[in-house]
Amino acid sequence: MSTGLFPASAPYRPRITAIGSYTPERRLTNAELERLVETNDEWIVQRTGIRERRICAPEESTGTLAIRAVQNLVERYGSALDDVDLLIVATSTPDFAFPATACLVQAHFGIPHTLAYDLSAACAGFVHGLHTASGMIASGLHRKALVIGADALSKITDYTDRTTCILFGDAAGAVLVERDEARDAESSLLAYTAGTDGRGGPHLYRAVTAVSWTDGEPVPAGGKLMQNGREVYRFAVQTVPRASAELLEAAGLSPADVDWFIPHSANLRIIESACEKLGIPLEKTLHTIEDYGNTSAATIPLALDEGVRAGLLKDGDRLLLFGFGGGLVYGGLLLKWKELQPRV
């Protein structure tokens, strides 16, 4: 595990200056799932908290979700993109093995000069992308970054498997991270934590070309998302509160100092367990699990944007973002929020 403070000696201060999101129009309700697999609304809600999820139209993909989230950002904040010099798309469902989904976004918006690549860290992808972009800007290597979390999980979900098909949906969220040129600027990134336990890879995966794990153990299925829900749940309920507490301790803060907790929306029961162990009231949590399900790398920016739209986030609020997922990987960021200025 790697945990630390944002270095006070860093030459520049990154901060989030704009946000956008997109969810497909098609809703897949629990009642509809009852007609596909042996399940029911009460069972799904009790175990996950999910009531419905959004599903891509046939012509939609991760690339179109990402583009529409960025378009939403531009329309709301009037942000120019022609000087973006870093573009990261966190996704587990790229449209192509290559080119990267980030290249599709770059082409659509005609961004002339930018480093563009995809980041594969499953449901922790957006946090890792934001971590990376903030570090790049703080060091002076880049000035302006687009960080996007986008996944079209319906494309890789087996709708005959009731243990997974009830969980997943499609969405995208995007933030613009810029160098703050003000002389007295504070970094929005206060502290971070990240870790990996690759031994848990067989608990949550999608095989593309592999026929066996590196230790020779055969991969039992390919193409669709596979999950051992019990083991992933165990990893999450142990890791999220422990690593979050260590992150806060590194920053000299307590859970009471957190204004908003924004965990990955994998399962409401995981969020409730983490809140209870951390001592953070559920009412101080932003999540999207009930209406959108698990949208992987999109859950955290989607929840963040819902908080912005609702006027919940105020200048100086401390936000604790925490993602976890396939790898098994996790990442947490402690941010100091600066209120955004939408275009009038």
Q: What is the pLDDT of residues 95-106, one digit of tens each?
A: 999 999 999 999
What is the rounded average pLDDT of the residues 252-262?
96
* Same-domain check for residues 175 and 251: no
Looking at the structure, tell me whether residues 148 and 249 fall in a common domain: no
Count of residues for the chain?
Answer: 344
142 is catalytic: no
Same domain, 143 and 201: no
Which of 180, 211, 227 represents a domain boundary (last residue)? 180
On whether both 120 and 232 belong to a single domain, the answer is no
* Domain match, 193 and 294 both: yes
User: Is 312 a domain residue?
Assistant: yes
Residue 3 in any domain: the answer is: no
Residue 281 carries which side chain, given as an amino acid letter? P
Q: Are residues 173 and 197 both part of a single domain?
A: no
For the ranges 149-163, 205-219, 330-344, which has the lowest average pLDDT? 205-219
Q: Would 299 be classed as within a structural domain?
A: yes
The one catalytic residue in 56, 123, 165, 275 is: 123
Active site residue 30: no
CATH number (domain holding residue 140):
3.40.47.10
Select which of 165, 264, 275, 287 is catalytic: 264
Confidence of residue 222 (pLDDT cuts 50, 70, 90): low
Same domain, 153 and 88: yes
pLDDT of residue 184: 66
Q: Which helix (H) or strand (E) holds 263?
A: strand 260-263
**SS3 state of residue 195:** strand
Residue 251 lies in a domain: yes
Whether residues 129 and 176 fall in one domain: yes
Distance CA 268, CA 50 (A): 8
Boundary of a domain, candidates 121, 153, 180: 180
Are residues 119 and 167 located together in one domain of the fold? yes
**Catalytic pick among 30, 72, 267, 294:** 294
pLDDT of residue 221 exceeding 60, the answer is: yes
Please count the structural domains in the chain.
Answer: 2
Asked about 108 being catalytic, the answer comes back as: no
Helix (H, G, I), strand (E, B) or coil at 19: strand
User: Which among 180, 199, 223 is the end of a domain?
Assistant: 180
Answer whether residue 229 is part of any domain: yes
343, part of any domain = no
pTM above 0.85, yes or no: yes
In the structure, what pLDDT confidence band is assigned to residue 5 with cuts at 50, 70 and 90?
Answer: confident
Residues 117 and 138 reside in one and the same domain: yes
What average pLDDT score do residues 325-333 get?
95
Tell whether 157 and 204 lie within a shared domain: no
Per the CB < 8 A criterion, the answer to whether 128 and 321 are in contact is: no
Contact 140, 11 (CB under 8 A): yes
Cα distance between the two ends of the chain: 43
pLDDT of residue 189: 87
Residue 194 CB partners (closer than 8 Å, separation 6+):
1, 2, 3, 128, 131, 329, 330, 331, 332
Say if 344 falls within a structural domain.
no
Q: Which residues span the domain enclosing 241? A: 189-336
For the segment 144-179, what is each residue's pLDDT rounded down to a tens digit?
A: 999 999 999 999 999 999 899 999 999 999 999 999
203 in the same domain as 74: no
Domain assignment present for residue 341? The answer is: no
